[in-house]
Structure 1
Amino acid sequence: MRYRRFGKTDLPLSVFSLGTMRLASESAAIQTVQRAIALGINHLETATGYGASEQYLGAALRSSLSIPRTQLYLTSKIPPTASADDMERTIDQSLERLGVDYLDALAIHGLNTEEHLAWVTASNGCMKAVRKALDDGRVKHIGFSTHGFLELILQAIATDQFKFINLHYTLFFQRNHAALDLAQQKDMGVFIISPADKGGLLYTPSPMLEALCQPMSPLALNYRFLLSDPRITTLSVGAANPAELDLPLALADQDGELSVMELEILERLHRQQEMVLGSDRCSQCYECLPCPEGIHIPEVLRLRNLATAYDMTRYGEYRYRMFENAGHWFPGNKGNRCTTCGDCLPRCPEALNIPALLQETHEKLNGAARRRLWE
C-alpha cells in the first residue's frame, strides 16, 4: 500500500480508502474493515445518510482491530444545512453512532447547488457549528463532497473554508480537471468518489471495452489513470464484503507514472471514439448549456459517446435513468424533454444536431427509473 499526504490536513492516507455505503450488516462491516486494515487501508469513510453505515462502522471500530485509533483516519459526511443548530446536533449524533470522540475529517455532504453554497458562506449558517466543532476538537479537518457543476465546485474551493474535496473524476469523466488543478493550488486533499461504479460499472465492463483495454482490465486501467495523477490523494473502494477488496488493492503499490503500454491503450480508446462517433462526437465543452428545458445536454451526450463507442450501454442506462429521479445529486431532465427550439445549436462548436442526438439517446438508454444506491 502506498500513502499520500491529504493536502494541508497533513494526514498520511492510503491511496485506497474504504467507503462503507454498501456494508449491509454489522458482521459484514467488522469483517470488511478488518480485512481493509490488514491490507494497509488506514482511511474509512461513511456518511449520516448511508442508512446504518455509521452504526455498523462503529461496531467494527469496537471490535479487535489491529491498529491504534490514532493511526486510523475516519471521515463522515453531513449534508449542508441552513441552521447551525441542525449541524451541531448532527455532528454529535454522528460521533455517538460511531462511538468515537472525534472525526479526523468531516465533509459537507453534497455541496451541489447555489443554495448549499450560500448556507456554507453565511456567517450564521452550518459552518458556525463546524467551526465550533473544530475549536473543541470534535472535528480535526473540514472538507466537502460534491456532485455539482464545475463552476460551483470552483466557487466552493475558492471560499478557502475547506482542506479537502471529495470529487467525481475518472478516465471516462474528466470534466472536473480544473477543480483538481485549483485544489492542488490550494493544497487541498483530493478523494475520488466511486471510481469503479459511477466511473463506468468497471467491475462488469462490456466485452468491447475489455477488448479495447487488453492486456489490462478496464478497472485496472482506470485505477492506474487515477493513481498516476499526483493531484489525487486517495480513491474510494465501496466494498460490500472482504472479497471485493482484493481486485482493486492488487494495484495499491502501483502509483507511478503511466507506462508506455498504458498510454498506448488510452490512445486506442481515443481513436475508437473518433472512428465510431465521427462528426457526432460530443467534446464535452458544455457550451450548449443552459438548456431552456433543463436537459443536462453534455451528460446525456457523454453517455451516448460511451454507449456508442465502447458499448457501455448498461452503464449508460444506469446513469441516464437517474435523470429526474435523484434531485440535485444528478440534476437535469431527460433527452425527450427537448422541444427542438434550437437554442443550443449555434453554440455547439462541433455543429452537432443536438435535438436528434438527445432523442436517439433517450430511445437507447431510457427505461425504469433509478435512484442512488443508498436511497
Structure 2
Amino acid sequence: MIYRRFGRTEQRISVFSLGSMRLVNVPPAQAQATVEAAVAAGINHIETAQAYGHAESLLGEILQTLPVPRQQLILTTKLTPQPQDQLRESLQGSLTRLRVDYLDQLAFHGINLPEHLQWVLQEGLPVLRQAQKEGWVGHIGFSTHGSLDLILEAIQTGSFDFVNLHYHFFQQRNRSALEAAAQQDMGVFIISPADKGGMLYHPPQRLQEVCQPFSPLEFAYRFLLADPRIHTLSLGITQPQELQTAWAALRDPEGGWGNVLRQVQQRLQEREQEHLGTTRCAQCYACLPCPEGIHIPEVLRLRNLALAHDMTEFGQYRYNMFGQAGHWFPGVTADCCTECGDCLPRCPEQLQIPDLLRETHQLLHRSPIRRLWE
C-alpha cells in the first residue's frame, strides 16, 4: 500500500479508501469479508454516510471485530445539510451507530447549491467546531456534486480541511479545483472512479482494447494516482476479489504512471477525434445556462463517450438519471429542447447543439432510474 499526507490534516492516508455505499446491498458476511480484506491489505480509511441506508450500523458491527486498533483507522462519515438544532443530535446518532466515540473526519454531504454552502458556513460549521473542541470530530470537509464555481468558492473560504470531489479521466471539469485545494493544503478524496468514472468495472470491448496494457479500471486508477494533488480514491467494492485491480494499479509507478499511461491517454484522445470529428463537444460549458434547464455539456459528454468509446451502457445509466436526482445530478433530458437557438452563438466549436441533443436522446433514452442509495 502507498500512503500520502492528507493535506493539512497531517494524516497518512492509504491511496485507496473503502467506501461503504454498496456494502448494504450484499449479505453481512460478504460485507465483513470485504472490510477485513481491505484493512488487511493496508487500507486505513473507511468512508460512509448517514444517507447510505444502514451502512453506519453495518460498519459499527464490523469495526468491533477487526484485529486492527481503532486508532490505526481513519473513519469518515457525512451529514447532509439540516436544521441547526438537529445537527448535533445527528452527529451523536452517527457515533452511536458506528460504535465509536470520535470521528477522524466529518464531511458535509452534498454542498451542491449556493444555499447549501451558506447554511454550512453560517449554521453547520459553528456546531461542528464545538464538536471538535469536545473531541467528537477531528477534521471537517465537504463532498460535492455541485458546479465548479461553487466548489471553488467553498474551497477558497479556507473553512475546510478536505474535499470529496468528482474528477476522472473521462470528466476533467473539476481540474482547477485540484489546484485550488492544493493551494489551501486540503486533502483530496476522489469519489467513485470505478462507477461515476465510466462504469469501468464492466467496460465495453472497444475501451478494453484501447487501454491496453491496462484494464480500463486500472488505467483510471493510474491516471488519478499519477497526480500528487490527489491523495486517495474511493473503492466501492463489495467482495475481496475486487481489490485486485487496485493493487495492480500500484505496480510499476515509474512506467505505469508515466510514459505508458500517456500513451494510453493519447490513444483515447485519438479515438475521440476519429469517431467524433467536428461534432465533439470540448466541454467548455459556454452553452450554459440553457433556458429549458438541459445540462448541455453533460448530455454531449455522454454522447462523446458512447460514440467514441462504445460506452453506451454508461451513457444510458447517467442520462436516464436526469430529472430524477434533483441537485445531485441536475438537468432534464434532451427532448426538452425547444430549438430556441440560445446556445448556438455561444458555442466556440459551432456545434449544431439542438441536432446533437436530439441524437443523444434517441441514443441513450431508456426508463428513468434513481441513484443507488435512494
1:143 to 141, 158, 170: 141
Structure-1 residue corresponding to 2:17:
17
Q: Unpaired segments of 5 or more residues in structure 1?
A: none
SS of the aligned residue for 2:357 comes to helix
Q: Which amino acid aligns with 2:35?
A: V
Judged with a 3 Å threshold, the aligned counterparts in structure 2 of structure 1 residues 102 and 252 are, in CA distance, closer, same or farther, namely: farther
| Contact 1:322/1:371 (8 A) holds in 2 | yes
| Contact 1:13/1:42 (8 A) holds in 2 | yes
Structure-2 residue corresponding to 1:328:
327
1:76 aligns with 2:65: no
2:162 to 155, 161, 164: 164
The Cα of 1:85 is off from its aligned counterpart by 1.5
Structure-1 residue corresponding to 2:258:
259
1:259-278 aligned within 5 A: 259-278=258-277
| Contact 1:16/1:249 (8 A) holds in 2 | no
Q: Deviations over 1:192-243 (max 9, x none)?
A: 0000111001111111111111222111111100000000000000111222
Q: Deviations over 1:317-342 (max 9, x none)?
A: 00000000011110011111100000
Q: Deviations over 1:325-366 (max 9, x none)?
A: 011110011111100000000000000000010110011001
Structure-2 residue corresponding to 1:190:
188
Judged with a 3 Å threshold, the aligned counterparts in structure 2 of structure 1 residues 91 and 253 are, in CA distance, closer, same or farther, namely: farther
1:33 aligns with 2:63: no
Structure-1 residue corresponding to 2:288:
289
Q: Deviations over 1:266-297 (max 9, x none)?
A: 11111111111111000000000000000000
Q: Distance in 1 between matches of 2:143 and 2:305?
A: 25
Judged with a 3 Å threshold, the aligned counterparts in structure 2 of structure 1 residues 43 and 321 are, in CA distance, closer, same or farther, namely: same
The Cα of 1:162 is off from its aligned counterpart by 0.4
Structure-1 residue corresponding to 2:124:
126
Judged with a 3 Å threshold, the aligned counterparts in structure 2 of structure 1 residues 254 and 192 are, in CA distance, closer, same or farther, namely: farther
Aligned residues: 371
Q: Distance in 2 between matches of 1:21 and 1:253?
A: 27
Structure-1 residue corresponding to 2:56:
54
Q: Distance in 1 between matches of 2:370 and 2:241?
A: 26
SS of the aligned residue for 2:22 comes to coil
Judged with a 3 Å threshold, the aligned counterparts in structure 2 of structure 1 residues 75 and 16 are, in CA distance, closer, same or farther, namely: same
Q: Which amino acid aligns with 1:12?
A: R
Q: Distance in 2 between matches of 1:163 and 1:252?
A: 26
| Contact 2:281/2:304 (8 A) holds in 1 | yes
Structure-2 residue corresponding to 1:103:
103
The Cα of 1:29 is off from its aligned counterpart by 2.8
Moved over 3 A (4+): 252-257
Q: Distance in 2 between matches of 1:334 and 1:308?
A: 18
Q: Distance in 2 between matches of 1:244 and 1:215?
A: 19
Structure-2 residue corresponding to 1:180:
178
The Cα of 1:256 is off from its aligned counterpart by 5.1
| Contact 1:26/1:59 (8 A) holds in 2 | no
Q: Deviations over 1:157-187 (max 9, x none)?
A: 1111100000000110100001001000000
1:116 aligns with 2:99: no
TM-score (norm 1): 0.97
| Contact 2:109/2:144 (8 A) holds in 1 | yes
Q: Which amino acid aligns with 1:90?
A: S
Q: Distance in 1 between matches of 2:251 and 2:159?
A: 32
Task: Give me the identity figure in percent.
Answer: 56
Structure-1 residue corresponding to 2:305:
306
Q: Deviations over 1:21-78 (max 9, x none)?
A: 1113432332111111111100000000000100010011111x23211111100011
Q: Distance in 1 between matches of 2:76 and 2:246?
A: 21
| Contact 2:219/2:249 (8 A) holds in 1 | no
Q: Distance in 1 between matches of 2:260 and 2:240?
A: 31
1:219 aligns with 2:221: no
Q: Distance in 1 between matches of 2:101 and 2:33?
A: 23
1:42 to 41, 44, 57: 44
Q: Which amino acid aligns with 2:180?
A: L
